[in-house]
Amino acid sequence: MGSDEEGTGLPASFEMAWGIRERPNKGPKRGLSLEQIVDAGVTVASTDGLGAVSMSRVAGELGTSAMSLYRYVASKDELLALMVDAALGVIPDPPPDKSWRAGLEWWARVELAAYRVHPWALRVPLSSAPVTPNSLLFLDRGLQVLGSTNLDEGEKMSVILLLTSYTRSWATLSSDLVAAAADGMPAHVNLNYGAIVGKLITPAAFPALTKAITAGVFEDAEETTDEFLEQDFDFGLATLLDGVEVLVRKRK
């Protein structure tokens, strides 16, 4: 069910999410809504993982047929995009009286919190630029906190893309580590990782890696506790913001 030429050019389901297209009013199951469909998809993903999401499974959750869903959502890809938008939620206004740096830290943590509640959203491919309501509102909030700087609009957007890329990548890695720890890590990533690698390399061939192993770097990295993961995210975020601060100072 695509959008008509007089619309935005987006899928009709996205236009319905924006409130600029009315829901279908003909055919069976007229009590169904796009919100119900998306919520059912989120429930399936949260309960059984993203792989369990299909049009037929979501329809079953709603007590209807897959064909009735296609009147609202033209494809599974559209549904997944709307599910991620719902997982992100409505973004609040940036905290008042915050510096741009504190604002960006707040912004990154809002995204991280959403991924922690809905880790399945990390498995949805990024196939296009954000166009759904919550995703664009989230982007706007990030740009807002950079409003007090002298960065030009292109630089602001680049900073936001850098920060969200870091947050998403870190959230994916930490989610995988936590899942692996819960399921029992395979031998090549178990708690003896540093010792195993130490037996595979020599100081002559891998001098820098040997130095890291000797310093116990991998012994620390093998932790998967919430406290360690939080500290790791903090370090990366602070390092990125240090770099942004250099750019901001150059533009004064």
The domain boundary, picked from 48, 63, 88, lies at 88
Closest CA to 168 of 227, 198, 223, 126: 126
Please give the residue range of the domain that contains residue 238.
100-184+222-250
Residue 1 confidence (pLDDT): 44
- State whether 162 and 52 are in the same domain: no
Q: Which residues contact 77 (CB under 8 A, 6 or more apart)?
A: 127
Which two three-digit tokens encode residue 188?
């090549």
CATH code of the domain in which 69 resides: 1.10.10.60
Question: Please, what is the Cα angle at 136 between 127 and 39, to 5 degrees?
Answer: 75
Residues 114 and 230 in one domain: yes
Using the predicted structure, report yes or no on whether residue 222 has a pLDDT greater than 60.
no
pLDDT at 62 over 80: yes
Q: Is residue 18 part of a domain?
A: yes
Angle in degrees, CA 214, 215, 216, rounded to 5? 90
For residues 43 and 161, membership in a common domain is answered with no
Question: What is the rounded CA–CA span in Å between residue 212 and residue 197?
Answer: 11
Q: Is 50 exceeded by the pLDDT of residue 5?
A: no
134 and 113 within one domain: yes
Check whether residue 180 and residue 115 sit in a common domain: yes
93 located within any domain? no
6: in domain: no
Domain count of the chain?
2
Q: Do 158 and 232 have their domain in common?
A: yes
Residue 62 is assigned to a structural domain of this protein:
yes
pLDDT in tens, 17-31: 999 887 766 555 557
The helix/strand/coil state of 24 is: coil
